[in-house]
Structure 1
C-alpha cells in the first residue's frame, strides 16, 4: 500500500495518547509541507491544539487556511476559551458577507457566553441573541435552548423565561435548562424555587407528553430543599420511585434526597436514604454531614470524616465547611481546632474565607473572644465584613464591650461613603455597635452612634417575615 501523508496525519491526530504542543506542531508542519488543506483534517488539528491549551496555534490554522471556511470557524469557536470564542465571532461578523454563519455558529458562541457569565458577557450575549432574531434562525430548538441556558447562567431568568415561553416546540433538554436556571439562582432562592416547581407541574401537564429525566428530578429536589416544604419533597420522592428510577441506585438523585430531607427537617429519612445508597460520592457524604450539622448532631458529623476515608472518598472544601459548622452548633472547640489543622496537613485542602468564618464563629460562641480576634488578625487573607460581624455579635452575647467597641469601629472604617453613584451604606454595623453599647447601658455612646447615622442619612432597614404555604397544585399533579 503506497504511503499516504494524509492518512498518516489523520491517524496521528486520532490517537488517544496525550499530545504535546511540540508534537502537534510537527503534524502541522507535515500538513503544510504536503499541501494538505482538507477542512476536516484541519478541524481535528484545531481541536487538538485547543485540548492542550495552545490557542494561538489553533487561531493560526484558521488564519492561514486561505478561503473562509465555516467548519474551521465553528470548530475554533467551540473549542477555544469562552472569551476567545466571543472575540473570534466578533472579528468575523464584519466578514459575514463572505462567510454566512449557520445554526451551529450561534449555538457555540452563545454557549461560550453561558460558560463565562459576567456583566460584559451578558451584554455581548444579548447582542448575539439580537443577531439570531434578525437572521431568522431562532426556530432552531438547540439555539433557543442554549439561549435559555445563557440567560439563566447570567442570572437573567426573566429573559430566559421569555425565550422559553416563545418556543413552539420544546425538548427535555429545554425544560431542564429552564428548571435548572431557576434552581441555580443565588438570589431570590425561594421565589425561583417556587417558579421551578410550578414549571415542573406544567411539564407534567404538557400535551407533548415529555417525561422528566433524572436531571429534571435532581433539580426539582434542589428546589424542594430550598423551599423547605417536607410534603412537597416527599411527593417528589414518591414520583421518582414510581416513574423515574430507584433513588438508591442513582447517586445524584440519592444525594438530592439526602439534602432535601435534611433541609426539610426530616433527618431520619435523610439517614435512611443515605444508608440504602449503593454508591456515594463526596457530594453525598457532604450533604449528610451538612444535615447532621444543622440538626446539632456534630459528633456524628465528625465521625463521617473517618467513615469517608474507609470508603475511599476524599473530603473537599465544602465537606470541611459542613464539619466545622457542626462543631460550631455543638460547641466542639477542641475538635474544631483539630479539624481545621487537619484540613491542610492531612487532606491538602487550603482553608478559604468560609472556613476561617466557621472558626471565628466557633471561638466566639464559646466565649474565646481574645483568641478569635487574634485568629482574625493572623489570617493570611484579608478578613471580610461578614467575619467581623460574626465576632461583633459574639461580643454582644458575652458582654465584652471593649472588644465589641474595637471590632465595631473596625467595621465602620470599612464602610463606603455615599457618593454621586449612590453607594449603599449598610445600617447593620451601626445598629450592632449601638446594641453593644446598649447592653452595657452606655447610653451616651448609643446616642453618638445614632446621631452619626442621622448625619450620614443611614436608614435602618425594617424587619419582615414570610409565611410558607404548600403548593397544592404541584401535589395534585404528582
Structure 2
C-alpha cells in the first residue's frame, strides 16, 4: 500500500465535528488507501463513528481498534472507551477482560472506565469491581487521576461514605480531588443539610491547610456557594464572598462565580446584595438571569420578573425550560397563583418554550395549595401529556387538606392503579399513595374506609415509612 500521507484538505475534513456516516466512511477509506496508521487520526475517526449511534458505525469503530490477529493499540482502545456511551464502554471492557490479561491495560483505561460507571446509573456494582482491580494492579495509590475519578464515581452514585474513604486514603490530592469531594457533598441534598455542612467543613480544611500545593479554584468556590445556598447562612456567605475577592475571582469577570453569588444571596434573603452583584456582572448567561428572576420571586417581588425576562430577551439570551421550572417553583412556594398562571401562558406565546411535565406539575400544585381544586382537576384533564404520579399525589394531598373527598378518592385510586400497572417497588412511592388516600378518607371521618385501606396495605406487605424530626 502507498505510504503517502493524506493531504491538507483531507486532514481539515477529518478535524471537522459534523460529518455524516457516509463522509466518515469515505475518510476511513482514504486512511486505508494511504496506509495511514497515525493514532491521532484514527482516534478522531473513532470519535466520529461513536457519535453516530448506529450498529454500522459501532462495527466500524471496533474494526479500527480490534485488529484480526493482534492485540489492540492501547491508545485506540482507550479512545473507544472514552467516546462510546457509558453502557457500551462497560460492555467493551468486560468483553476484553474476559478474554485477555488485565496487565495489558494502563491508567487511562481505568480512568475512562470509572468515568463511564459514574455516568451510568446502573453500574454501581461494576464500578466497585473496577475499584478492586485498580487496587490489585497498584494503580490506586500511585495515580491521583484514578483516585479522583473513583471518588467521583462513588459520589455520583450517592455513596459519600466510600467517596470520603477514598479521599482520606489518597497520599496526594490535587485541587480537582478536593473539588470532587466538596462537590459530591453539596450535590446530594438531605434533610438537615448534613452533607452541605460536611462540604463546608472540608472546604475550611482545604482553605486553611490544604496540602501545601493545591489551593481553592473557581470551581471550589461555586460548590461552596451552592452549599451555603442550601443552608441559608448569610453570614457565612458574606465571608466566602470576601474570600473569593481575595483569591481574585471577581464576579464582574467570572460568570460562574457571579451566578453563584446571585443565587446564594437570593436564597439567603439578601436580595439587595444579589441585585448589586447581578448589575456588576459584565457577562451573564441563562443561569445568571434565571437565578436573579427566581430570587425576585422567592423574596416577594415576583411582579418584577416579567420585566427582567424582557431584559433577558433584549440582551439576546432566551429563557429555557430550566428558567421556567425554577420560576414556577418559586411562585408555587410563595403562593403567587395569578403570576404563575400568566407566566405559564407566556412560555409558549412569548418565548416559544413548550411546557414539559415539571411545568404542568408546578401549576397543579400551585392551584391545589390555593384551594382551587376544581380548576386544578380540569387543568389535569386538559393536559396534552399524561400526568405522572407526583402530580396526582400533589393534587390528592390538596384534596385531603381542603376536605374534597370525592375528587381525592378518585385521584387516590387512580394513583394506586398507576403504581400497580407500572409494577414499581412498593417500599416508597406506593406507600405514599395509600397514605394520601387514607388521609382523604380521614379528613371526612370515613374510618371504615381507612381501616379497609390499612388492611389492604397489610395484605400486600406495604409498610409506611417512619416519620422523624430534627427538633
Which residue of the partner structure matches residue 145 of structure 1?
Answer: 148
- How far apart are the structure 2 equivalents of 1:40 and 1:311? 41
- How far apart are the structure 2 equivalents of 1:422 and 1:290? 35
The offset of 1:408, in angstroms, is 3.8
Query: What's the TM-score once normalised by structure 1's chain length?
Result: 0.86
The offset of 1:169, in angstroms, is 0.5
Q: Does the alignment pair 1:135 with 2:137?
A: yes
| Contact 2:14 2:27 survives alignment (8 Å) | no
Deviations 1:221-273 (A, max 9, x none): 01111112222222211211222422232111111111111222222222222
Which residue of the partner structure matches residue 339 of structure 1?
Answer: 343
Which residue of the partner structure matches residue 20 of structure 1?
Answer: 20
**The residue matched to 2:193 in structure 1 has which SS?**
helix
Going from structure 1 to structure 2, the CA distance change for 1:302 and 1:462 (only over 3 Å counts) comes to: farther
| Contact 1:221 1:256 survives alignment (8 Å) | yes
Which residue of the partner structure matches residue 252 of structure 2?
Answer: 248
- How far apart are the structure 1 equivalents of 2:191 and 2:368? 30
Number of residues of Structure 1 aligned to a counterpart in Structure 2: 458
Q: Does the alignment pair 1:112 with 2:111?
A: no
Which residue of the partner structure matches residue 215 of structure 1?
Answer: 219
Which residue of the partner structure matches residue 6 of structure 1?
Answer: 5
- How far apart are the structure 2 equivalents of 1:435 and 1:25? 63
- How far apart are the structure 2 equivalents of 1:235 and 1:352? 39
Identify unmatched segments of 5+ residues in structure 2.
Answer: none
Give 1:77-96 correspondences, 5 Å limit: 77-96=81-100
Which residue of the partner structure matches residue 290 of structure 2?
Answer: 286
- How far apart are the structure 2 equivalents of 1:429 and 1:93? 45
Going from structure 1 to structure 2, the CA distance change for 1:307 and 1:29 (only over 3 Å counts) comes to: same
- How far apart are the structure 2 equivalents of 1:317 and 1:76? 33
Which residue of the partner structure matches residue 188 of structure 2?
Answer: 185
- How far apart are the structure 1 equivalents of 2:429 and 2:335? 33
Give the RMSD, CA atoms, in angstroms.
3.0
- How far apart are the structure 2 equivalents of 1:435 and 1:89? 51
2:318 corresponds to which of 310, 314, 317: 314
- How far apart are the structure 2 equivalents of 1:388 and 1:76? 44
The offset of 1:12, in angstroms, is 4.6
**The residue matched to 1:5 in structure 2 has which SS?**
coil
Which residue of the partner structure matches residue 33 of structure 1?
Answer: 33
- How far apart are the structure 2 equivalents of 1:239 and 1:42? 46
Deviations 1:418-440 (A, max 9, x none): x9x8645756555555555555x
| Contact 1:185 1:192 survives alignment (8 Å) | yes
Which residue of the partner structure matches residue 122 of structure 1?
Answer: 124
1:162 corresponds to which of 162, 165, 173: 165
User: Which stretch shifts more, 157-166 or 287-296?
Assistant: 287-296
**The residue matched to 1:347 in structure 2 has which SS?**
coil
Going from structure 1 to structure 2, the CA distance change for 1:385 and 1:57 (only over 3 Å counts) comes to: same
Which residue of the partner structure matches residue 229 of structure 1?
Answer: 233
Which residue of the partner structure matches residue 471 of structure 1?
Answer: none
Q: Does the alignment pair 1:449 with 2:450?
A: yes
Which residue of the partner structure matches residue 64 of structure 2?
Answer: 61
Deviations 1:360-389 (A, max 9, x none): 123334443222112112323332333223
Deviations 1:271-299 (A, max 9, x none): 22222222111111111222222223221
User: Which stretch shifts more, 341-350 or 235-244?
Assistant: 341-350
Deviations 1:395-444 (A, max 9, x none): 35545444334334434545659x9x8645756555555555555xx43x
Going from structure 1 to structure 2, the CA distance change for 1:189 and 1:27 (only over 3 Å counts) comes to: farther
- How far apart are the structure 1 equivalents of 2:162 and 2:238? 31
Tell which has more relative contact order, 1 or 2 (C-alpha 8 A, sep 6+).
1
Query: What's the TM-score once normalised by structure 2's chain length?
Result: 0.87
Which residue of the partner structure matches residue 371 of structure 1?
Answer: 375
User: Which stretch shifts more, 218-227 or 4-13?
Assistant: 4-13
- How far apart are the structure 2 equivalents of 1:51 and 1:199? 39
The offset of 1:464, in angstroms, is 3.8
Going from structure 1 to structure 2, the CA distance change for 1:123 and 1:98 (only over 3 Å counts) comes to: closer
**The residue matched to 2:282 in structure 1 has which SS?**
coil
Going from structure 1 to structure 2, the CA distance change for 1:352 and 1:189 (only over 3 Å counts) comes to: farther
| Contact 1:19 1:52 survives alignment (8 Å) | no
The offset of 1:103, in angstroms, is 0.8
User: Which stretch shifts more, 221-230 or 49-58?
Assistant: 49-58
- How far apart are the structure 2 equivalents of 1:51 and 1:413? 40
